[in-house]
Structure 1
Amino acid sequence: MAKLEKTGATFTIMNGYLEGRLTDTEGAAMLLASARETVAVGKRLGVQRLNLHGTGLGDMGVPIPKIGAFAPGMVVRARDTLNRICDLAEAEGVVFTLENLNPIDHPGCPFGSTTDVLALVSSINRPQLRINLDLYHTQIGEGDLIRWCEACLPWIGEVQVADNPGRCEPGTGEINYAGVARSLAAMGYDGPVGLEAFAKGSEDAALDAFRSAFTV
């Protein structure tokens, strides 16, 4: 922490928990306790947004635990858990984001799809909970990126990008990120866009490609 503080860097988002899940009472208690600790860490770095998933992610992003099928009460419990997260966020003056994932890299993650994340966040509809719209995951799970941006727009807290396949910088795969950037600007989106990717070549070149794609 001390080393990070000394860099003088601006940190816009960080992981908002270390353990827990949305789907059951025990997991919710773990998530809330972990989120409280993480908020305190984030405040030292000036972080205003803290990221969540439907459950914990282990090595290589494998969900812990994997959820094979949805029980009828899982949506109700997830909404209750996220409302409690919102209460914590309101008290602490921060915002939590719920990130969409994809079923190839993260099989068995509850509430991982763009569809599920939008349904949860929009049904709660509180300013303390936004969507971390990861377009790399959306491309794999659903495609149709621009229309998903439009659908999620009122609740987006951050947009994250990487190209597919390979999860490298824009221009290395199939996604027309320059077109996505123009569409986001036309929609009026002026929030943060983060590059969450590997560098195919040098890191400087990857950052230049990202800036070029999202300079509108």
Structure 2
Amino acid sequence: MTDTITALVPDVEEVIALFHVVDEPLISLLLPIEDLAEGEEDWQMPPSLDVQAVADAWTRILHALPQPLAQAHHRTDEPVPGSYQLLGAGDYEHAALYPMPVDQADLETMTGLLDHLRRAMALPRETGFADLREVLDQAADQRNQNTTVARYRVSAQDLIDELATALDLLQPGDDPDAALLLDAIGTPQPGSSVTLTAAQEAAYGRWSDQLIRKVARGDRVEAALLRFVVKGDQ
């Protein structure tokens, strides 16, 4: 029987985007190319990397996103179906948190991909990892084609860091603040509101500070924007 972890995922666009940028273009580029032209060769992935297992695992993780988070890219001014309000001290509205069940086996598969990507970046490069590094470079190039803002341009290493951050968010471990917050929100009822107690509010503050550090990764502007969105009281 597969063990399941309950992650705590905030309704924050920058966080939810991490899951989607891992999916496209990185994982999509790992998969075998269909209808190759005659004479063309597909990527030669390391034999120890099962790209189909990776794609399947990440698809299941994406499908586990709670409904309000899964609809983050299709929002209007209307309340998102399935959403609720999370209120802190002074009735400030914080970014809502949602429990998300994730299979431990899928996280282990994705952690295996992360290890392979790091090995592809390391020098001297291992035999059989050259194409995997090329995938990283092409994925970064595709991302950069869609932005003209320098601070949003990414490198191959940034893609690895994004995957590492996403997996970190999905593995709360023995974090007592995450446990307290999961208990506080329970199973959020659509259209309802949850008001945090003083202890829960303090836990939210500590937990969200960690979240901001992980997602902003040293970018002070990004950290300030996230602090406003996540805490709602800055």
Is the structural similarity TM-score above 0.5?
no
More strand by proportion, 1 or 2?
1
> Rg: which structure is higher?
2
More helix by proportion, 1 or 2?
2
TM-score (normalizing by structure 2): 0.30
**Which protein, 1 or 2, shows the higher relative CO under an 8 Å CA cutoff with sep ≥ 6?**
2
TM-score (normalizing by structure 1): 0.32
